[in-house]
Structures are given as structure tokens and as C-alpha cells.
Amino acid sequence: MTATHEFRLPRTRRPNSGWRSWGGTVARSLYAGVFVGAISGFVTLLISIVSIVIGELLFRRLLIEIPIIYRTIAPAVAIAVAVLVFLGNLLWERTHSAPAPAERT
């Protein structure tokens, strides 16, 4: 039986242009920012709803109006987290190089 490395195509060198690497870095950072921002918005809504329920059980009244949470608080948190993750990932990828690929045998 043949080894799996025999089915690989021979390695070809790609031109290393600065624009291509920046484009990939920006795309990955944008993806990470949007993904983590959306998750943080959902988590903010979940925590807010749970705190409203607990506040209702303990104090027998609403401490905050529910529309304020999903109209102002959750989007602001999601946008802030998305921007911070985008900038952080952009900085991280430009300052920390990727590990070298494993040598083929």
C-alpha cells in the first residue's frame, strides 16, 4: 500500500506579496470580530434576561425596561467587542508569525 505523502502534489512556491497577506489578515480579523461580537451580544441578552427574572423574583418589580436591553445595551456591547476583537486579532496576526509547516517525509 502506498503512503499518503505520495498522493500530494509537488510543492510550488507562491509569490509572497504584501497585499495578499494583509488581505487574509484583515479577512480573518473581520470574521473573528463579527463572530465574537455576535456571540457577546447574545450572551449579553441572556445575562440581562436572567437578571431581570431574578430581580423580578427577589424585588417583585422590574428594575429595567426590557426594550432598553435589546435596543441599546446589547448592540453597544456587541459592537464594542467586535471592534476590540478585530483590532486585537489584526495586531496579533501581524506581530506573531505563524508556526513553520511540518517537514514532509
Model pLDDT, residue 81: 93
- What would you measure as the largest C-alpha separation in the chain, in angstroms? 73
| Residue 26, C-beta contacts closer than 8 angstroms, at least 6 positions apart | 90
Model pLDDT, residue 3: 55
CA 25 remoteness from chain centre: 13
Q: What is the pLDDT of residues 16-41, one digit of tens each?
A: 555 557 888 888 899 999 999 999 98
Sign, CA torsion 23/28/33/35:
positive
Domain boundary assignment for the chain: 28-95
pTM of the model: 0.67
**Buried b / exposed e across 37-73, counting CB within 10 Å, b at 16+?**
beebbeebbeebeeebeeeeeeeeeeeeeeeebeeee
